[in-house]
Amino acid sequence: MDETLTLMLRFINGAATIWLSYQIYSIYRTKKRSFYGLWSLGFFFYGASILVRLIPIEMLQNYKLGIVSYLLLYTGFSCILVALGSLVNKANVLAVFSSALLLINIIVSITSGDWVQVSTMFGLFLFILISLSLLIIQIRWKIKLELLTLGWLNVLITNIAMTTGALDLGYTEIFSTFNKLLLYWGITQSRFSYIVEDLQQFFIRGVPTEPVELDKGSVSLVNLNNGSRAREIQWIKDRVAKNSRKGINTILLVCYDLISPHELMTDGVQKHLYVVRLVSGNIGTAKIFDKHIMTINDDINQLDILLTDIVNYSNERRFPCEIILYNLSHLIHMHSWKRVYTFLTSKITMIKSSSVQLLGFYYPETHNDAEILKFETLADRIITN
């Protein structure tokens, strides 16, 4: 393809990438999620690296500006990698890994004396690493990111074709621009966070009618001494009403539909209660229904993400919250006490440094004494009435 036309297409590619970074930043300003902010930075640096390559090749070589383009590209990809890590609470790990990889890149380049070849190899490795991260997140954490993955795999294939010379540079710019649009579509369409608009609106409705101070977070166990199911449902309703007067949001996590949301959604409760159903089966990502009901897969990893999202959002907006788990015993029987115990212990510090109260219904008679004692030791208090 003609060199002038290729440069024009490269400019469009770089300018479109930076424009999309602004669009993603607009989403970040609305949702306040680090994922969007990091993708916005990633697109900005990615676009800037493309625009630097508009400089004639002789100047790039003579003034070592190719290094600038590469560092901008690497920074952009690192932001994207850390953004993916933020979906599963691994942002810090991937940030350290990305920094270490750049340091290794620099050391190997200086040692070998071949900056271009080494950096090309490391750049492609980052492409592959992001692709693998997307696939792992979908498989292990069951977060649906198909559009994002498809977009990034296209980016990977395009850059491999460009690096090997299998694709003309002009066509590379065309495909690259298209791939950015596909990525943007994937970013805006994928549901990877449980703090979605419906749950945000629920949070901000909590307005206290009684004087209240924000309490420190805690973990409690609830056992109504062989109380009937009807009594437990009424206890939850009373708890929601009490919380609502204090401006405390109540989120009920119901395992395996042990309580039907419709049993709880009476006129006095509906506005102040959000129900999350944990159900078995391949349901994919969270799906929002009417009347403050969300459904997620029966998976401890997804429960981990949900709980972290709620605590973080509560901390950011200073909205107190109470989470009622109905019930902890069934969760233990389904996933083993060790798995659930590990999950809870990993969240204790986070919860206690927040304004979130976690209450779990449990039935000691269904467990052996040694197991249930471990959970009772974790609890700040045991509620029996």
CB-based contact 347:305 (threshold 8 Å): no
CA 355 to the chain's CA centroid: 21
Q: Which are the contacts of 65, defined by CB distance < 8 A and separation ≥ 6?
A: 52, 55, 59
Write down the pLDDT at residue 330: 93
Q: pTM of the entire structure? A: 0.59
C-alpha to C-alpha distances, 341 to 197, 213, 215, 271, 371, nearest whole angstrom = 31, 30, 24, 32, 9
**And the tokens for 308?**
């972290």
pLDDT in tens, the chain (385 residues): 788 899 999 999 999 999 999 999 988 887 667 888 999 999 999 999 999 988 887 776 665 677 888 999 999 999 999 998 887 768 888 999 999 999 999 999 888 878 888 888 888 888 899 989 888 877 776 666 788 888 898 988 988 888 888 888 899 999 999 999 999 988 876 655 555 555 666 665 555 555 455 578 999 999 988 768 888 998 999 998 888 888 888 999 999 888 887 787 665 666 778 888 888 864 444 433 345 787 888 888 878 888 888 888 788 777 788 999 998 999 999 999 999 999 999 999 999 999 899 999 999 999 998 889 999 999 999 998 7
Tell me the two tokens of residue 195: 């703090």
pLDDT of residue 167: 85
Nearest residue to 309 via CA among 286, 278, 290: 286
CA gap 272, 116 in Å, rounded: 59
Rounded Cα–Cα distance for residues 380 and 363 (Å): 17
Q: What is the C-alpha separation between 75 and 319, in angstroms, rounded?
A: 35
Q: Please report, as a single letter, which amino acid is at residue 379.
A: A
Tell me the domain boundaries of the chain. Answer: 3-189, 197-383
Give residue 268's pLDDT: 64
Pairing of strands 321-326, 249-255: parallel
Are the CB atoms for 268 and 249 separated by under 8 Å?
Answer: no
DSSP state of 214: P
Token pair of 323, please?
């989470």
Q: Name the class of domain 197-383.
A: alpha beta
Written as six digits, the tokens of 153 are 């795999």
| For residue 327, cis peptide bond before it (omega within 30 degrees of 0) | yes
Phi-psi group of 64: left, alpha or beta (phi > 0 → left; psi -120 to 50 → alpha; rest → beta): left
DSSP string, 196-212: -HHHHHHHHT---SS--
